[in-house]
């Protein structure tokens, strides 16, 4: 027995040793694999110091990357400058650039697979690349040369990678190499930004859906205004809006921005101060790429979309500028009657008119190519074809300014060199789409505002609803004259600000839009600017990070008053927390968590049982509409949506109790310990992060609590799970007294290469508002010298 026990003990020791050795070998192997993977990934990091010879250069070029990864490119001529810009962008962002042109061109399926097929069909239908190709001929020879040189620089870097094999890891994971870059690629990415910022067709479709499915009174209760004339309504059996756009790609609801400019009469320096923070989707890498370009003819600093030459937002030595989205009605849906005997003919003025048919072959990774026809009527592409039963003899086509030839890049290059308001305004005239609110500041003390772009004048109708396409009674008859677009120069108030709010009064002679953003950000900005003197750049940075929720300041008091007689203890406890709130959406408080989720839940209570979610996604002005429903109900004038839910008190109590129940599951029963920041957290997802486990490689480790919300100046819109996915993608402030220095934030960082020191180095800065300085002169950092290649 004793011998048996001793043998068992020995065997157990051997087993333990084997397990320990096995575990050690496994851990060691994993460590070696991890080290090998890390080494493989970082070998693709670009060379940013030393010397490189490039064919195509006329003279040497210096690229200095400062401590924040911002490249300062110094060249002796413009041809070399833009070649170096293309090369430098490709060094840091080649995969993003390639995916961007593929997305906009309808070519994602080739590298991603069948999952991207509907996406490709949609963008092929819109025809952004077709519009880019048509736009190319609009450009001057000088601008074409810039595009060509930029493309040449990108291709020089691609050729380098073909030779050394040091491709960014994303290309290896997807198993492909990018094709050469072309000027059309840059213009296509530009058209994509118009797509992201310039539409309202979704609102037209949603309003039409309302009229098809509800009483006129109930439908109009959600309209921003009443139709000028009785709309033409076609039955669901002929055209079912609910099914027509199930596969459509819808830009983010909160694409907008803040900008403002303050006169020297209100600043400590006596010179204007300008601030701008465009609100776009937050991702890794950032949608923006910060650069400084210098040659004898230009010295400009700011940001650009990766894949495009020049600087779209920023400053030079005399002027600075920034934008917000005007959001005009530049898209119209037309109800088209199709010939039952010929699917490519449509009725117009009692005649069947042939449409243009564009045949496409979509390449799909690991699958056979897919044949796909795009049909284009006289008004534009037929877009209601993403569900087979949407309409057999009745369809919707789209007319959109961005599908017309335009020359935005030409305008950008001229803006970069402008030295005065007059020169800048002249340059801006060529910037047709997307329509933006530009604010301007100059060292001579001028501050100004101008809305740019082609905004259509309609023969009949006002862009509220789809209109008949089979008659010439409707359609566009021109555009608002450039000299009559909204404009302000040196106002008496001493400041100008925009935040996607309504920019014209009721006496403005032209129609611009039905859908303006909620006015809370603009109200807060003007509240601060009007009450502050001796303003400094630091004050404007603080304002960009301002978390005061004016929506809560408006609605919390009446909500408390309406529910003060509630017998529910949980409702009473929540109201007591809200009553003590200072209306700051700070991450440490419970009140912003209750209020922001309550506002979202009110909309769900009102709409979820009657409107399918896919159709509700088309409701671009939902928050504004809910605000109006609440205001009218508080005033004792409830509409049918409130009345059918037993009035505002019932809606408020029901939605609040649902929020409380959800939060008890997430954060426990003790309401006092709830925190906004435990739910509301920033996350910058990588372009491939939806493919697990790649999210573990590319994404940030953990999430970071952040304040603000969708309605605060510090914009931080969030998804259903609390993930902040939309906000100030670039923050910028400049005092024109120090016009060669700007203050910037580009979250999460400059580099598109995982494990690079500039990959997510500005992530925490984005949360805390810690800006960095970028100068036009005397830059220091890691220097790459580009020299002409000897022949």
Active-site annotation, residues: 257
Q: Which residues contact 540 (CB under 8 A, 6 or more apart)?
A: 260, 262, 273, 275, 733
Q: Which residues contact 353 (CB under 8 A, 6 or more apart)?
A: 345, 346, 347, 377, 378
CB-facing half-sphere around the CA of 113: CA atoms within 13 A: 5
How is residue 452 written in tokens? 């740019």
Mark 487-497 as b/e (b = at least 16 C-beta within 10 Å).
eeeeeeebbbb
Give the single-character DSSP code of 284. Answer: B
Q: Which residues contact 260 (CB under 8 A, 6 or more apart)?
A: 274, 275, 439, 495, 496, 497, 498, 525, 529, 540
How is residue 774 written in tokens? 């970028």
Q: Are 199 and 332 in contact (CB under 8 A)?
A: no
User: Which residues sit opposite 354 in a β-bridge?
Assistant: 345
- Count of C-beta atoms within a 10 Å radius of residue 51: 11
Burial class of residue 502 in the structure, from the number of CB atoms within 10 Å of its CB (0-12 exposed, 13-18 middle, 19+ buried): middle
Which whole-number Å values give the CA distances from 668 to 207, 362, 498, 573, 665, in the listed order?
40, 51, 40, 14, 6
Q: What is the largest CA-CA distance in the chain?
A: 107
Collapsed DSSP state (helix, strand, coil) of residue 534: coil
Measured torsion, CA atoms of residues 687, 693, 695, 697, in degrees rounded to the nearest 10:
-100
Collapsed DSSP state (helix, strand, coil) of residue 200: coil
Q: Which residues contact 671 (CB under 8 A, 6 or more apart)?
A: 570, 573, 574, 577, 590, 660, 663
Distance in angstroms (rounded) separating the CA atoms of residues 519 and 631: 14
Q: At 353, which helix (H) or strand (E)? A: strand 351-354
Q: What radius of gyration do the chain's Cα atoms show?
A: 28
472 is annotated as contributing to ligand binding = no
Q: Are 464 and 207 in contact (CB under 8 A)?
A: yes
How is residue 61 written in tokens? 């070029």
Distance in angstroms (rounded) separating the CA atoms of residues 58 and 295: 13
Q: Are 468 and 335 in contact (CB under 8 A)?
A: yes
Distance in angstroms (rounded) separating the CA atoms of residues 196 and 189: 11
Distance in angstroms (rounded) separating the CA atoms of residues 412 and 415: 5
Distance in angstroms (rounded) separating the CA atoms of residues 633 and 165: 65
- Count of C-beta atoms within a 10 Å radius of residue 16: 10
Give the chain's length. 791
Query: Concatenated DSSP letters for 551-595?
Result: HHHHHHHHHHHHTTT---HHHHHHHHHHHT--SB--TT-SHHHHH
Query: Concatenated DSSP letters for 679-727?
Result: H-EE---BTTTTSTTHHHHHS-SS-EE---BTTSSSBEEE-TTSEEEEE
Mark 702-722 as b/e (b = at least 16 C-beta within 10 Å).
ebbbbbbbbbbbbbbbbeeeb
Q: Are 525 and 260 in contact (CB under 8 A)?
A: yes
332 is annotated as contributing to ligand binding = yes
Distance in angstroms (rounded) separating the CA atoms of residues 730 and 179: 30
Annotated binding site for Ca(2+): 329, 332
């Amino acid at each position: 027995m004793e011998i048996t026990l001793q043998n068992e003990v020995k065997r157990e020791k051997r087993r333990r040793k084997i397990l320990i050795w096995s575990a050690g070998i496994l851990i060691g192997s994993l460590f070696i694999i991890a080290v090998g993977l890390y080494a493989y990934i970082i070998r693709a990091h670009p060379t940013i110091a030393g010397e490189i010879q490039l064919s195509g250069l006329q003279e040497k070029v210096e690229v200095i990357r400062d401590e924040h990864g911002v490249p300062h490119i110094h060249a002796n001529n413009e041809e070399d400058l833009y070649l170096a810009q293309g090369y430098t962008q490709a060094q840091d962002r080649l995969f993003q650039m390639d995916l961007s042109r593929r997305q906009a061109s309808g070519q994602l399926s080739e590298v991603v697979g069948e999952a991207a097929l509907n996406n490709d069909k949609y963008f092929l239908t819109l025809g952004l690349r077709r519009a880019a190709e048509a736009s190319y001929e609009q450009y001057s020879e000088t601008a074409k040369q810039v595009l060509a040189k930029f493309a040449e620089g990108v291709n020089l870097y691609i050729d380098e990678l073909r030779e050394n094999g040091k491709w960014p890891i994303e290309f290896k994971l997807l198993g492909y190499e990018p094709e050469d870059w072309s000027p059309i690629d840059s213009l296509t990415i530009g058209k994509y930004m118009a797509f992201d910022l310039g539409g309202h067709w979704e609102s037209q479709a949603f309003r039409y859906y309302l009229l098809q499915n509800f009483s006129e009174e109930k439908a109009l209760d959600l309209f921003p205004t009443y139709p000028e004339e009785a709309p033409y309504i076609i039955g669901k059996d002929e055209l079912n809006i609910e099914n027509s756009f199930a596969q459509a790609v819808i830009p983010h609801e909160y694409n907008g921005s803040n900008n403002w400019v303050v006169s020297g009469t209100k600043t400590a320096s006596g010179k204007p101060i300008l601030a701008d923070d465009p609100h776009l989707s937050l991702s890794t890498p950032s949608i923006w790429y910060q650069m400084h370009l210098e040659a004898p003819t230009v010295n400009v600093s700011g940001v650009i979309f990766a894949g495009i030459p020049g600087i779209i937002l920023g400053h030079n030595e005399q002027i600075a500028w920034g934008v917000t989205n005007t959001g005009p009605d530049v898209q119209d849906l037309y109800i088209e009657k199709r010939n039952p005997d010929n699917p490519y003919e449509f009725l117009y003025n009692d005649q069947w008119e042939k449409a243009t048919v564009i045949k496409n072959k979509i390449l799909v990774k690991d699958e056979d190519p897919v044949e796909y026809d795009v049909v284009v009527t006289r008004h534009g592409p037929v877009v209601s074809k993403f569900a087979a039963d949407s309409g057999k003899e009745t369809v919707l086509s789209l007319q959109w300014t961005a599908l017309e030839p335009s020359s935005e890049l030409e305008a950008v290059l001229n803006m970069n060199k402008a030295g005065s308001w007059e020169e800048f305004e002249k340059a801006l005239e060529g910037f047709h789409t997307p329509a933006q609110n530009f604010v301007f500041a100059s060292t001579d003390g001028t501050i100004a505002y101008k809305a740019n772009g082609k905004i259509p004048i309609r023969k009949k109708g006002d862009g509220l609803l789809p209109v008949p396409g089979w008659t010439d009674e409707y359609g566009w008859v021109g555009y608002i004259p450039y000299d009559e677009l909204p404009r302000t120069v040196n106002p008496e108030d001493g400041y100008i600000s925009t935040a996607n709010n309504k920019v014209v009064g009721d006496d403005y002679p032209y129609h611009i839009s039905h859908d303006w953003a909620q006015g809370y950000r603009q109200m807060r900005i003007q509240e601060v600017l009007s009450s502050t003197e001796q303003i400094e750049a630091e004050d404007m940075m603080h304002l960009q990070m301002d978390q005061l929720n004016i929506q809560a300041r408006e609605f919390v008091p009446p909500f408390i008053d309406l529910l003060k007689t509630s017998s529910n203890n949980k409702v009473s406890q929540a109201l007591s927390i809200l009553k003590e709130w200072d209306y700051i959406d700070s991450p440490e408080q419970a009140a912003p968590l209750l209020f922001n989720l309550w506002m979202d839940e009110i909309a769900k209570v009102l709409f979820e049982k009657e409107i399918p979610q896919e159709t509700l996604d088309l409701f671009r002005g939902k928050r504004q509409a809910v605000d109006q429903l609440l205001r009218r109900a508080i005033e004792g004038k409830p509409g049918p949506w409130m009345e059918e839910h037993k009035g505002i008190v019932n809606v408020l109590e029901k939605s609040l109790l649902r929020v409380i129940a959800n939060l008890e599951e997430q954060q426990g029963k003790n309401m006092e310990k709830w925190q906004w920041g435990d739910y509301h957290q920033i996350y910058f997802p990588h372009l491939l992060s939806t493919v697990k486990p790649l999210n573990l490689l590319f994404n940030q480790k953990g999430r970071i609590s952040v304040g603000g919300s969708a309605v605060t100046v510090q914009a931080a819109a969030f998804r259903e799970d609390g993930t902040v996915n939309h906000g100030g993608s670039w923050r910028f402030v400049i005092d024109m007294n120090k016009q060669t220095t700007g203050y910037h934030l580009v979250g999460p960082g400059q580099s598109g290469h995982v494990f690079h020191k500039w990959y997510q180095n500005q992530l925490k800065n984005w949360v805390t508002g810690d800006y960095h300085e970028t100068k036009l002169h005397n830059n220091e950092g890691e220097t790459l010298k580009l020299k002409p290649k000897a022949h």
